[in-house]
Amino acid sequence: MRYLLTFSYDGTLFFGYQKQNGKRSVQEEVESVLSKINNEKTVISASGRTDRGVHALNQKAHFDSPKTFDLDRLRHSMNKMLPPDIFIKNIENVSDTFHARFDVVKKEYVYKINVGEYNPLDRNYVYQYNWKLDVDKMRDAIKYFVGTHNFKSVTKTITEEKDYVRTIYDASIEFDNNIITITFSGSGFMRYMVRNMVGLLIAVGESKIEPSDISSILDKENRIFAKKTAPSEGLYLKNVYY
């Protein structure tokens, strides 16, 4: 049978979601627990990977097992065995043809920036920019990301992508109590894509570039024209939709 996990994690002490030799990863922790419960090696397939220091509110992953589980008991058992920076929120049965990555129709990411006084308690969860940004200009700029574009300019310099075209369905900025919250929902996101888009928005907020420059930077399809990558700690995978 195939099962779908919904889980959250604090990315601070992980070297990313994906398994890496000799380094702590979310995938390895979850697979280790499932393998013990299944009494055999169990592999999970996630909706996508997150980088070192990035958090997830609702990551999704599926796994196969010949066993039929009581889902509430399985969830309880997994949470008892998992470290405290991972939490299984839900487990459900899905069809054998379902795939947690390839069946995704939309993903939603959130990025948080503190423009007020430095807060050491939030340093791993909100980017401590701690300086004023022009939020109105950033709101004008974010509109240029919406729609279907080639996003090669805002991806990792060296990637394995063959197609850099993605669709951003919605993008917004909220500002409250010195915290800027930036939300993107789209058909898919490549490595560093959200953090590089945020980097451009910060450059707009600093008045280093104008909002309309976003369009021309995307048209160049070259990472060299984009600005700095925003730090990982402010980024959250908020939701995955099927």
Measured in whole angstroms, the distance separating CA 102 from the mean position of its chain's CA atoms is 16
Burial class (CB in 10 A: 0-12, 13-18, 19+), 98: middle
- For the chain, count helices (H), then strands (E): 5, 10
**What is the chain's length?**
242
Q: Does the annotation count 51 as an active-site position?
A: yes
Q: To which residue do tokens 């939490």 refer? A: 87
CA dihedral 98, 101, 104, 107 (to 10 degrees): 150
Query: DSSP strand E in the chain: where?
Result: 2-9, 45-46, 55-64, 86-94, 106-114, 127-128, 147-150, 165-176, 179-186, 235-241
Burial class (CB in 10 A: 0-12, 13-18, 19+), 121: exposed
Q: Which of 10, 51, 85, 103 is catalytic?
A: 51
Determine the Cα–Cα distance for residues 103 and 232; give it in Å rounded to an integer: 26
Active site (catalytic) residues: 51
